[in-house]
Structure 1
Amino acid sequence: MSIHPLPDTVSATADRHGHRFLLIGRRNVFSYHLGLYHVPIHAFQMITRFGLPDGLRETYLTDLAAHEDQQVYYSLFTEGHWPLQDIVDGSRTSLPVELERVTVDAQGNRTFTPLLPVTDATCRKEDVVHYRPLEADAGYPDYVTALSFGQGDEVHLAHRLAGAPNWDEVITTVDPRGFQPGDLAPAATVTVPTVKDPHGAAPKSPLTTGTGYEGKIGDRTVTFTAGRQGWWNHTSLNTA
């Protein structure tokens, strides 16, 4: 991501340029690309898995456990304006990454704090779960839609980004029922027919933590309770 000072962002890496991937999950750690509608190199929604060094994984999990009930996220920052397609087509098999804790204050300002020095992560094209360009002029769905990913009973939902402006969110579900392995890789679209899509940059999640929902994958029903939020952005996502 191009890291420029934004009203909602404070960063120790403000003068650097690169991609950010949010870390999602515990038993199986996935990486979710921080997309931007109006910056072409970052105008992609992508979910993948990286091969993470043991020390980085352990630091992430330990810090996550210490901040479980706070609005704290975790990202990998990797420097450089290289195309994400390099991962998808297999021409890039590793990248230097820096683990960051992302904290949010009462006004919504985000601070990216490095937790570990740069180390190498591996990447494989077969580990890409979802990859598609963002289209700012795409229409909105009638109801909230999400991309399901994860493994086993650890199921995550990323808001499926349609038109702009919009909101970007990843949650981990509690007690997911009805999800099949083929729903998680590649990521299937889950529609929540009881929750209207806000058709814009929602100021807060339409899915309430602790609330149970029924979703549809095609004609099949799945159920879940909305759990911990692993990412949220309704501001810089939409900044031109």
Structure 2
Amino acid sequence: MEHGACHENDDYSNTALNLNKPKFVTNMRHQHALVLVGRDTIFGVHMTQYHHEEHKYQMILELELPEEVRKIYRDLRQTWPEMAFVLCNAESDLFMVPEIGGGSIASFRANIFMGLFPLDKLLPEEEENEHFFPWAPSIVKPLNDVEFEVTVKRVVQFRPFNHQEILPKFANYYVWGDGNEAHMTHWQTAHLASGPFDAPAFGPDYDHIMTLKHAPNWLDAPLLKAGVSVSVPAIKLRNATKKKKPDIPQVRPFKHDGKIEVLYRGIGQPYEVVAGYTYVFGPQVASSPSTIPELDPSVTTSNSPDQMMFMPATPKEYWADARLSSNIKDGFKDE
């Protein structure tokens, strides 16, 4: 028994994971993208990346915006209800996600951007940059004229990934909100996918940030405000016929106004929620590139043809002026 335990430790000591072990565990301060949901109560949902230490966190924050910024956001949300609005801390005010999750930082300077700049219009040096950040004023224009101070009113969820967690049979989601507004995000699993002597790779799984049509009438207000865990039996992540291969959905699983059956805590009889808009969906940003499954050509999808990713494109009027010049790749057509 003891000999076997020593042997397992010896094996681990020679793996790629252990050889890359840092002497001191910390995170690099960085810019972070928070997708905004809600109108009366505004929340920011952190976009994840399993293969970047600084983004290996699910986090939901209730935010307070300056009144003039709040008005801009609410007016544009009314005009563009299906648009993803992305709040990003300024390049001059970098932080670690755990500093927000742990309460040591309660405010930061930020900008708000619309959608995602078309990835096929990036410059070669941007595409090759491991820490490229697509919401930069040199790429897209912020909604606000100047940076503003964001206050974190409360942390709704702070969850560091554990790479030994197993992908569940059915998708799990987190439901939260306030008043008559409610939202859902996929409970992600950044499981280790690489072999012991390979470069570490994590996934696949998918990010999904969406709103609900209204707060569920079966969920008490204090539970909604704190957030609850539900399962969605309609989304199967492990197909028995495919052995251990994950079965990640390739298109947005819920239609606007569609009814979704969910199991509270993953058990019992189903309850019903009604889907609103999806702002982010897919494994493309979250998962390690080597784990992302190929698109099934037989599946009709409104996603980009070469990637499993949905996020509304930045309207052309919000491109930075330099992006409208002739040095950008030709062939772009307005939707």
* TM-score, normalised by the number of residues in structure 2: 0.59
User: Per-residue CA shift, 1:42-77, capped at 9, x if unaligned?
Assistant: 1000001121111111111212222225xx211111
Preserved CA contact (<8 Å) 1:202 1:234: no
1:234 corresponds, among 283, 298, 305, to 283
Letter in 1 for 2:87: L
Higher strand share: 1
Amino acid at match of 2:233: P
Answer whether contact 2:30 2:95 (CA < 8 A) is retained.
Answer: no
How far, CA to CA, are the matches of 1:128 and 1:37 in structure 2? 21
Instruction: Provide the residue aligned with 1:171 in structure 2.
Output: 210
Q: How far 1:182 sits from its partner (Å)?
A: 3.6
1:214 pairs with 257, 261, 264, which one? 261
Q: Using a 3 Å threshold, how does the CA distance of structure 1 residues 233 and 115 change in structure 2: closer, same or farther?
A: farther
For residues 4-40 of structure 1, the C-alpha deviation after alignment (integer angstroms, 9 at most, x for no partner) is xxxxxxxxxxxx9411111011111111011111111
For residues 89 and 171 of structure 1, the distance between their equivalents in structure 2, rounded to whole angstroms, comes to: 25
For the residues of structure 2 that align with 1:92 and 1:86, how far apart are their CA atoms? Answer: 6
**What is the distance in 2 between the residues matched to 1:143 and 1:177?**
24
Superposed, 1:61-76 pairs within 5 Å as: 61-69=74-82, 72-76=83-87
Kindly provide the CA deviation profile for residues 81-117 of structure 1, in whole angstroms up to 9, marking residues without a partner as x: 5222222332112100111111466989996432112
Point out where structure 2 has 5 or more consecutive residues left out of the alignment.
Answer: 1-28, 123-132, 191-202, 239-245, 290-335
SS at match of 1:237: coil
Per-residue CA deviation, residues 188-236 of structure 1 (Å, 9 max, x unaligned), is 1111223323635532222233321221213474311111113224212
Q: Aligned residue for 1:161?
A: 188
Relative to structure 1, is the Cα distance of residues 115 and 43 closer, same or farther in structure 2, using a 3 angstrom cutoff? Answer: same
- Of the three residues 49, 61, 66, the one matched with 1:53 is 66
Cα distance, 1:150 vs structure 2: 0.6
Partner residue, 1:123: 152
Match of 1:23 among 28, 36, 54: 36
Residue of structure 2 in register with 1:4 after alignment: none
Is residue 206–residue 283 contact of structure 2 (8 Å, CA) maintained in 1?
yes
Question: Helix, strand or coil for the counterpart of 1:86?
Answer: helix
* One-letter code aligned to 1:51: E
CA distance in 1, matches of 2:232, 2:223: 15
Checking the alignment, whether the CA contact within 8 Å between 1:37 and 1:135 is kept in structure 2 is: no
Letter in 1 for 2:98: Q
Give the conservation status (yes or no) of the 8 Å contact 1:167–1:200. no
Contact (CA 8 Å) 2:236, 2:247: kept in 1 or not?
no
Alignment partner, residue 145 of structure 1: 172
Pick which of 93-102 and 72-81 moved more. Answer: 72-81
Would the aligned equivalents of 1:31 and 1:49 in 2 still touch at CA under 8 Å? yes
Where does residue 225 of structure 1 map in the other structure? 274
Distance 1:232 1:94 in 2: 28
Measured after TM superposition, the shift of residue 118 of structure 1 is 1.0
User: What percentage of aligned pairs have identical amino acids?
Assistant: 23
1:123 to partner: Cα distance = 1.7
> Between Structure 1 and Structure 2, whose CA radius of gyration is higher?
2
The residue that corresponds to 2:316 in the other structure is none
- Using the size of structure 1 for normalisation, the TM-score is 0.81
Query: Over the residues paired in the alignment, what is the CA RMSD in angstroms?
Result: 2.7
Whole-Å Cα distance in 1 between the matches of residues 34 and 172 of structure 2? 21
**Among 207, 211, 227, the residue aligned to 1:187:** 227
Any idea what SS the aligned residue of 2:249 has? Answer: coil
Q: Relative to structure 1, is the Cα distance of residues 104 and 169 closer, same or farther in structure 2, using a 3 angstrom cutoff? A: farther
8 Å CA contact 2:112–2:143 kept in 1: the answer is: yes
Distance 2:288 2:94 in 1: 18
| SS in structure 1 at match of 2:115 | strand
Structure holding more helix per residue: 2
